[in-house]
Amino acid sequence: MEGSLERSSESSIERSHDSSIEGSLKGSIPAVLIAGTHSGVGKTTITLGLMAALRARGLVVQPYKVGPDFIDPSHHTAICGRPSFNLDPFMMSEEGVRRSFFSAIEGADVAVVEGVMGLFDGMDGTEVGSTAQVAKILDIPVLLVINVHGMSRSAAAMELGFASYDPGVRLAGTILNRVGSKRHLDMLKSCLAKPVFGALPRDKEMEMKSRHLGLVMGFEKDHDPEILATFLEENADIDMILTLPGQARTPAISASIELAGAKADGNGSVRIGVARDRAFCFYYHENLLELERHGADLVYFSPLEDQLPDVEGLYIGGGYPELYASQLERAPARKQIKKASEDGMPIYGECGGLMYLGAALESEAGSSKMAGALPCTTFMEKRLMALGYVKAEVSERNPLADVGRSLRGHEFHYSRCICDRDARYCLKLSRGKGIADGRDGLVENNTMAGYLHTHFYSVSGNKFIESCRAYRRS
C-alpha cells in the first residue's frame, strides 16, 4: 500500500496546482537562487533547510531546480507541498525557463531556486545550462554557498572571484557552510566584502544519504523538515533573505507563455496511464502538465501493484526498476502492458521505462522477466554508462514526435541495453550515447522507449496525444 499512498499524495499536489496563468503574475514576490562554488558544497541541504524554515513560518514556497535533475526536485516537493519545476535553458530555451518560472509562481509567497554544480559550470565549458545563466534569465539575486572548512581569508578571494567573474549575475551575499567556531566566523566576516546571510556549523547529521544515482528520493523521507527548518532558523538570517533587493519580476506575457495555458482543441480528452511509484519516479513535472494542456486525463498507477488501468496510452518514466525487478516480474501489469503494446496502444518509455519494456533485466540479483514489448535485454553495470545532455533528430515513425523533429534532453544511467539485430530505432543522436552507436528510441508496434529523458518543451505533447486519439478511434 505504500506506493498507493505516495501516488495519492502526489496526485493531490498536482490537482492543487493551477496550470493556467490567466489573471496571474500581477504582483511580484521575493525570490532567491542558492548557488555553490562547486558540487558537494552543501547546496541541497541548505536549500531544503531554507524551504522548510520558510514553510514553518507559514509561507507558501514555490521550489525550482536548475538543470535536468529529478531527485532534488522530489525533496523540494516533499517539503514545500508544491511541485518543483526544472529550469534548464538547454532543454527548454530561455523563453521556456521564463515560462516555467512564472507559470508556477501563482499563489506563492516566495520562490526558492536550487542551483546545479558550481555557479558558472555549464555545458562543455560554456555558460549554457549553468546556474549563472538561469540567474540572468530570471534576474534574481544569488546567495553563494562556500564550504569554509579549513580556510578564512581565502574565502574572501573566492567571493571576490565569483562576484566579479560575470557582472550580469547579482551576487547578493554568501552562506558559509561548515564553520568551525565563533572565532572562525569572526575571522571570515572581517574579510568578506558581501553580507553573510548564514553561517552553518559542521553537522554530519545534516549530510544527505547517497545512492548510486545521487540522493534518495523525497518520498523516501530521508530528512526531517522540522530539524532542517530549525537548523536554518538558528544559523541563517531568514528575515534578511526575505528582504533581498530584487524580486520575481512579472514580465510581459508573451504568446508562448499564453500558450502554456492552452487546452485541448475540442477533440476530447484521452486517458493516459502514467507509471508512478517507487520504481518509476523520474518525471519532469512540466511534461505532465504539457500532456494535460493538450487534452490528456492522466491516470496514475503502479506497475508494482496495480492492474493496467483503462487508458488509451502509456507514459513510463525513469527510476529504479532494477531495485524492484522481481516484484515487477510478478505483478499483473507486466503481461497486460505487453498485450496493450501488441494491440497498438501508444506507449512511451524513458530510461527505466526502456528497461521495463524490454524482455528481461539482468543484474547481480539475477534475471527478471520484463514486459517484453521491445526486443532488448538490459544489463546493470557497476560504473556509470552515460551522463549528459542529448540532441536527437527523429528519423523513423513513432508515437511521440514527427520525423525530422529535433529533441533535447538528458541521459544518466548505469545500464546497457542489448537489442536484437533487426531492432528499429527512431532517433539519431548528434550529442549523447543513446542505446548504441548514436541511436536511441527503440520502436516496436506503437511502442517507443530510449535512454533519453526528453523535456516536452522541445517536442510538445500534442503528437503523443494525437497518437492516443487515433488508437482510441481504431
Q: Give the containing element (helix H, strand E) for 182.
A: helix 182-191
Ramachandran bin of 366, using left for φ above 0, alpha for ψ from -120 to 50, beta for the remaining angles: left
Burial 285-317 (b: 16+ CB within 10 A, else e): bbbbbbbbbbbbebbbbbbbbbebeebbbbbbb
AA letter at 192: L
121: cell is: 559550470
Terminal-to-terminal C-alpha distance of the chain:
35
Q: Is 80 a catalytic residue?
A: no
Rg (alpha carbons) of the chain, rounded to whole number: 23
Q: Which of 351, 376, 419, 468 is catalytic?
A: 351
The strand order across the sheet containing 424-431 reads: 296-301, 270-275, 313-316, 347-350, 447-450, 439-444, 424-431, 386-394, 406-413, 453-454
**Which class for 276: exposed (0-12), middle (13-18), buried (19 or more C-beta within 10 A)?**
buried
Q: Give the containing element (helix H, strand E) for 128.
A: none
CA 17/CA 415 separation, integer angstroms = 35
CA 442/CA 376 separation, integer angstroms = 9
CA 228/CA 11 separation, integer angstroms = 25
Q: Give the containing element (helix H, strand E) for 232.
A: helix 225-235
Task: Return the axis-axis angle of helices 43-56 and 71-80, rounded to nearest 10°.
Answer: 20
> At 238, is the secondary structure helix, strand, or coil?
helix
CA 334 to chain centre: 26
**Which class for 91: exposed (0-12), middle (13-18), buried (19 or more C-beta within 10 A)?**
buried
AA letter at 57: R
Report which DSSP code applies to 375.
S
Q: Please, which residues have CB within 8 angstroms of residue 323's CB and are 6 or more apart in sequence?
A: 278, 279
233: cell is: 532558523
CA 225/CA 330 separation, integer angstroms = 36
Catalytic residues: 351
